[in-house]
Structures are given as C-alpha cells and as structure tokens.
Structure 1
Amino acid sequence: MVIFLCLLVAQLFIAGESNQLQRIANGELAKEGQFPYLVGLIFGPRDFASPEDRYLLCGGSIISNEWILTAAHCTTGRPKEVKIFYGSTQKENAKVETVQRSNIHRHPRYRIIFNNNYRHDVALIRTPAVKFTDRIQRIPLPSPRDGRRSIRPGQSVISAGWGAEIIGGDSVDRLNWVALEIGDISECVSTYGKLKGALCVRTDKKRSTCSGDSGGPLVLEDEQKLVGIVSFGTIKGCDLGYPVVYTDVISYLDWIESVSGVKPE
C-alpha cells in the first residue's frame, strides 16, 4: 500500500508538469519538522473528472488534532475519499490516514467565477484524532484583531507545498517553501478582477506558489499564525511576477468555528 501511494504521488507530480503550473517556483527545500502543521492531501477518485484528473493533489493545515483547513476547490468533483500525509517533508516517510467523502465540509457559498477565480474558497476535513509530536502540530488561527494590526502590505509571510523548484524543472518529492510578502488587495484586483474574502500576495525574484500548492498555508513569519489558504494565481506562469490570491482566514473564522468548534487564539 505504501509503495502504491508513493507511485501515485509521483504520477500526480508528473501530471502537474504537463497540466498547468502545479508547483512552487524557486522555493527552498524544507527541513524535517520545519512545517509540522502542513499536510499533503490526495483527493479521489473523483466522480466528475476526466480519467487523467481523477486524483487531485493539494495541501492543508492542521488546526486541531481532528481538523484540517484547505481550499474548497480541492474538493470539487465529489472525491470518494482523501488521503492525508502527516509529519514529513517526503510523503513516503509520512503517516497516512484516509477519510471518506462525508468528512469533507466545503463552504456552502463556494463557487467559481471565471478562469479559476474562486469565491469562498475554504473547506474543512474532519480526521481521526492525531497524536501531536515534534513533526505533527497544529497552527493557531488568527484573531480578528490580527487583521487590523498585522496583515498589511509589506508584511512578511511564508507558504509551502510539494512540487518542482522551477518552471519546466523536474518534479521532486521534497517539501519546498517560499518567503513572500502581503500586497495591497488592489494589486490582485487589477490582475484578476473583483475579489471577496481574499488576501493578495506579491511575488518577486521568480518566487511564487501555484495551483498544485492549492489549499496550503500562508503564515505570518513573525507570529506563526495561519492567515491564508492558497487559492489561485495566473495561468501564464508561476515565475512572471503576477500576484497570488489567498483565501483570507480571518474572513471565515465564524464558519470555521461553527463547523469544527476550533476558535482563534
């Protein structure tokens, strides 16, 4: 079973190279234990998908020992189940849990506007209770006051995910991360049109996240709080300097608590 899962992960990464922009561009290799709150997710098989797209690779964040936060668009196509990879930068060394479709809770107002421009792009996954270790940990949710005080243009943030290091590069099986900064929402509006419940993140020096990192975390570098979820970017290329849109976690704190019971600190 472990060998099968590893082969499946490798196939998903290779498919991502020929699909569209499914990698972190020019990231750095993560150290073991550097992102203990980050999980890998494989959704599928999906009922409403072409044969080559029956499985979808995403990221997610542990917000309690029974709940993971991810992007709603990762859950499209009615996936039968989701496999969760905990506690390692390499999936073949990870702890693996599988949960069924009934444990996936997508925001009821989620929808696609156009060209992968999403609204209410947030979802929760209920999991078996996981034992926390030095490599498996939750990350705190932000409080509403964090939005006023800390989430501002120029604020340093970090995001992480699995994939190739550069556009056109070979797929890799090690977790990558990238340091970015918050931009003004107008920077994303000018690129993608009207947005709601979103954060805008600048990319520079050809460093960025892309669609294969969907559902993964955006974390305040100086406070280690989860403020965003990878949602979407341009299909023109990861390393061209276009801003990336993240779901604004603060905008969905009430919904997160109503479904999971998890509160901000």
Structure 2
Amino acid sequence: IMKLLILAFFIAGAYGCGLPTFPPILSRVVGGVDARPHSWPWQISLQYRGSTGAYYHTCGGTLISSQWVLTAAHCISSSRNTYRVYLGKQNLGVANEPSSIALSPAKIIVHENWDADRIRNDIALIKLEREVATTDTIIPACLPPSGKILANNAPCYVTGWGRLWTGGPIADNLQQALLLVVDYATCSQPDWWGSLVTQNMVCAGGNGQQASCNGDSGGPLNCQNIDGTWDVDGIVSFGSSLGCNYPKKPSVFTRVSAYISWINNVSHTYFQQQPNY
C-alpha cells in the first residue's frame, strides 16, 4: 500500500503548478537569451486576427490554471475583436509546433478599475474555450500568496517574445532575462519612477543592462520559491520610452499578489458560464 501511495503522490505532484518538466537554464547573462525550449511552460502568446485573417503576436500572458490565462489590461483592445491564445509555443516563426495548441477565449475580463492614463490596475483574465490538459509543454505557473512582497534585489526572470533591444524586431524564439527586483522605496524616488509607481506594482531591472521591452507586455515576471516552484509575481505593464533598459527606469509590473482576491472572484463568477464576450 505504501508503494501505491508514494506512486500516487508522484503522479499528482508531477504536474502541479510552477514546476517545468524541462527546468530553465538560469544564466546570469546580461540581456535576453534564448530560453531552453518549453522551460517556461505557462508562457502563452496572445495573438489577434488582422484584416487578412492572419494572426499576429501582440502580448504575452501566463497560464494560471487549466482554463485561465493572466495578462495585462492594456493588451486587450476593443477594436481587435478576435483573439487566440497559443500555448506550448517556443518559436513564433514555426507554424505548427507539435507541442503547441491555439485556443479561443470564451471570456475576456479586464479589471473594472483599469486606468489607461495612469496605468493602474493593468490586469486582465482570459477564460479559455475549454480546459487544457497539462503536458510536458503546457503547465500553469503558481500564483503567489496574497500580499507577498519581493525583497530588494530578488532575482526574477522576465520571459517573452519581446524586442531584444530598443527598436529591434520581436524575437522568434522565447527569450528570458534575469531582472533584479527594485523595492518600492527605491522605485518611487523622484529620479526613478516617482509617483507613477504604486505599491500594487513591482519594479525590476533598470540597471542599464537588463529590462523587458515592449513586445513582452502582459507576460510574466517569474520568481522561484525555495521549494523550486515558480510564481508569476508580476505582469509586464510598462517601461521607459527612453529605451528598454534605461538607468533608474526599471520595467514595471502589475504586482499579482495584490490581485489574488480579484483573480479568485472573477474565476468563481465565470466558473460555469457559457462562452460569450
């Protein structure tokens, strides 16, 4: 019986949250590097359908359960009425990667207090048309505990198909970059981001070497727990128009731990509703 229990535990634990089958290679390389394929299996590509019928990558996002994706409110546009969520992607330039699946949204919920002028509450949830099975290449990230505050200089990784340098093209292969967290006391100083940053945000990078670029919008700031699991602690929100990695202008993320009750409320509200926009 003990053998059965142990086996059952490992089967249940094999696909929890935040534990990739193929762990990321955590380099300290300055700037973005190609990620090990499928080492960030919760990373999604949010794509919209253009006038020709072709789909275009517009933002990143994070799978947080079998049917819910977290992204930024500013990624959702009322003028783009057809989206799809691509899961299990590594190379955006490869049309039919065997590990990947594209699903339509059943529901898109933008935070009711999203303020585009002041970039507040930059968070949205996408309910997928159906539940997605967990595989080696599609695994949800863990949500942080409510109220979690990252320590200054905590090492986290931003991932996405964003621009690798200011004005550059978006990347084909998924990128990762190490960013060190900048605490609120520092980031809110007048010569940093000042009052534009609130305590519901996380700053990271801004050392003039590493930062996320605009193509990464909506994607995760991934931070590892002591037990090896990964939380999605941030959602890429905004950066400096001066460039991707300007000194004292770190990337700014929506702090996910400030919105746990909102995430829970939304996911429970739409738990059994039929698809509609």
CA contact (8 A) 1:36 1:87 kept: yes
Q: Is 1:185 paired with 2:184?
A: yes
Corresponding residue of 2:220: 217
Q: Is 1:57 paired with 2:58?
A: yes
Unaligned runs of 5+ in 1: 1-24, 47-53
Corresponding residue of 1:109: 113
Q: 2:215 and 2:167 mapped to 1: Cα distance?
A: 14
Give the alignment of 1:236-247 within 5 angstroms. Answer: 236-241=242-247, 242-247=249-254
Q: Is 1:119 paired with 2:126?
A: no
Report SS of the residue matched to 1:59: strand
**AA of the residue aligned to 1:188:** C
Q: 2:88 and 2:48 mapped to 1: Cα distance?
A: 18
Q: 1:194 and 1:30 mapped to 2: Cα distance?
A: 31
Corresponding residue of 1:34: 39
Q: Are the structure 2 counterparts of residues 163 and 248 from structure 1 closer, same or farther at C-alpha, using a change threshold of 3 Å?
A: closer
More deviation, 37-46/62-71 = 37-46
What is the percentage of aligned positions where both structures have the same residue? Answer: 30
CA contact (8 A) 2:158 2:212 kept: yes
How far residue 44 of structure 1 moved from its aligned partner, in angstroms, is 4.7
CA contact (8 A) 1:69 1:125 kept: yes
Corresponding residue of 2:152: 153
Corresponding residue of 1:137: 139
How far residue 166 of structure 1 moved from its aligned partner, in angstroms, is 2.8
Q: 1:168 and 1:78 mapped to 2: Cα distance?
A: 25
Corresponding residue of 1:7: none
Corresponding residue of 2:239: 233
Deviations 1:178-215 (A, max 9, x none): 01111121333333324331111123352110221011
Report SS of the residue matched to 1:32: coil
Report SS of the residue matched to 1:58: strand
How far residue 58 of structure 1 moved from its aligned partner, in angstroms, is 0.2
Q: 2:64 and 2:120 mapped to 1: Cα distance?
A: 22
Question: TM-score, normalised on structure 2?
Answer: 0.74
**AA of the residue aligned to 1:75:** I
CA contact (8 A) 2:205 2:245 kept: no
Corresponding residue of 2:275: none
Greater length-normalized contact order (CA 8 Å, ≥ 6 residues apart)? 1
Q: Is 1:195 paired with 2:213?
A: no
How far residue 168 of structure 1 moved from its aligned partner, in angstroms, is 4.7
Q: 1:208 aligns with which of 208, 211, 214?
A: 211
Over the aligned positions, Cα root-mean-square deviation in angstroms equals 2.5
Q: 2:76 and 2:43 mapped to 1: Cα distance?
A: 17
How far residue 170 of structure 1 moved from its aligned partner, in angstroms, is 4.8
More deviation, 227-236/84-93 = 84-93
Q: Are the structure 2 counterparts of residues 177 and 33 from structure 1 closer, same or farther at C-alpha, using a change threshold of 3 Å?
A: same
Deviations 1:125-144 (A, max 9, x none): 00021111111000110112
Deviations 1:148-183 (A, max 9, x none): 5xx111111111010343335454311100011111
Larger helix percent: 1
Report SS of the residue matched to 2:135: coil
**AA of the residue aligned to 1:176:** Q
Report SS of the residue matched to 1:256: helix
Q: Are the structure 2 counterparts of residues 234 and 211 from structure 1 closer, same or farther at C-alpha, using a change threshold of 3 Å?
A: same
Report SS of the residue matched to 2:175: strand
Q: 1:194 and 1:165 mapped to 2: Cα distance?
A: 25
CA contact (8 A) 1:188 1:244 kept: no
Corresponding residue of 1:248: 255
